[in-house]
Amino acid sequence: MTNYYTHSGNEHNDWHLLREHLEAVGHLAEQFAEKNNIALKEAAYWSGLLHNLGKYRDEFQQYLKKERDRGSETHHAVYGAALAYQNNWLGPAFAIAGHHAGLHDLDQLQTLICDTRYRIDERLLSIVKRFEKELGTIVKNITEPHFVVDDPHRLEFYARMLFSTLIDADFLDTETHYTGKQRDSLQLDTLLVKTLLQRLIEEKNSKPQTGELNAVRSRLFQQCLDKAEEKPGFFH
């Protein structure tokens, strides 16, 4: 059986198997989403599973082994993003496409997926077959948050939250591969949170308060403080 890798050897010369990385990132992203908004859970999981789908290409494997140089043939994020976009998974499409480059605008995402250099229609099927042989069938439908429907502000917030869960999960699992240990979770107690918030307020109050822009900033800051007193939810 051919092994597909996502990262080169660590200090022990252990290479990072692609299937193990995808599973780990999927589950980590799912956990992060569940703690913030359970409606993002399924989209976060599939974003993690598919974010490195393009690394199943021979060209990427050759690049990882220093058998070829980096270029359009070794670009990997576009393939998972294209699959998500074809399935109408808009949130995962944005998150996957941007997990190295940063979030795209919609027209940039569409341009990326349609770029003829990547020959998506020709290559995607074979890549998916390799993925499914190792990790199982890719579903056709996922549940994305109902609250994003017909509201561009909520959709943007959703995409940014999903992007954040994927970036954190990807970074942490990659770090674990190279360091050999998982990073300890930070625990914030109530006293520490209050102390940090008070420092933030003091820092904000030390800044100039005059002028139209500063007035807008102050109103926004106060709105955030006011909303923090309410039950968790989506605010805009």
SS (H, E, C) 23-44: HHHHHHHHHHHHHHCHHHHHHH
* Lookup: tokens for 81: 């993003």
Average of per-residue pLDDT across 19-37? 94
* Lookup: tokens for 200: 């933030």
Burial tier of 58 (Cβ tally within 10 Å: 0-12, 13-18, 19+): middle
How high is the pLDDT of residue 118?
Answer: 93
- Per-residue pLDDT band for 199 (boundaries 50, 70, 90) equals very high
* Residue 222 or 149, more confident: 222
Average of per-residue pLDDT across 102-111? 92
- Greatest Cα-to-Cα distance within the chain, rounded to the nearest angstrom: 67
DSSP 185-210: PP---HHHHHHHHHHHHHHHHTS---
pLDDT at 236 over 80: no
- Per-residue pLDDT band for 234 (boundaries 50, 70, 90) equals low
- Cβ(33)–Cβ(44) below 8 Å: yes
CA dihedral 202, 208, 209, 213 (to 10 degrees): -120
Q: What is the pLDDT of residues 119-131, one digit of tens each?
A: 999 999 999 999 9
DSSP 141: -
How high is the pLDDT of residue 152?
Answer: 82
How high is the pLDDT of residue 192?
Answer: 86
Q: What is the pLDDT of residues 159-192, one digit of tens each?
A: 999 999 999 999 999 999 999 888 877 777 888 8
pLDDT at 1 over 60: no
* Residue 124 or 37, more confident: 124
Average of per-residue pLDDT across 40-50? 96
Q: What are phi and psi of 11, to 5 degrees?
A: -65, -20
pLDDT at 113 over 90: yes
Q: What are phi and psi of 105, to 5 degrees?
A: -75, 165
Alpha-carbon span 126 to 34, nearest angstrom: 32
- Alpha carbon 2 to its chain's center: 27
- Per-residue pLDDT band for 225 (boundaries 50, 70, 90) equals confident
Alpha-carbon span 207 to 105, nearest angstrom: 33
% of the chain at pLDDT higher than 70: 97
Alpha-carbon span 43 to 141, nearest angstrom: 10
CA atoms within 13 Å, Cβ hemisphere of 123: 23
Average of per-residue pLDDT across 7-32? 95
What predicted TM-score, i.e. pTM, was given to this entire model?
Answer: 0.83
Least confident of 16-20, 134-138, 183-187: 183-187
Spatial neighbors of 122 by CB under 8 A, at least 6 apart, are none
Alpha-carbon span 115 to 186, nearest angstrom: 42
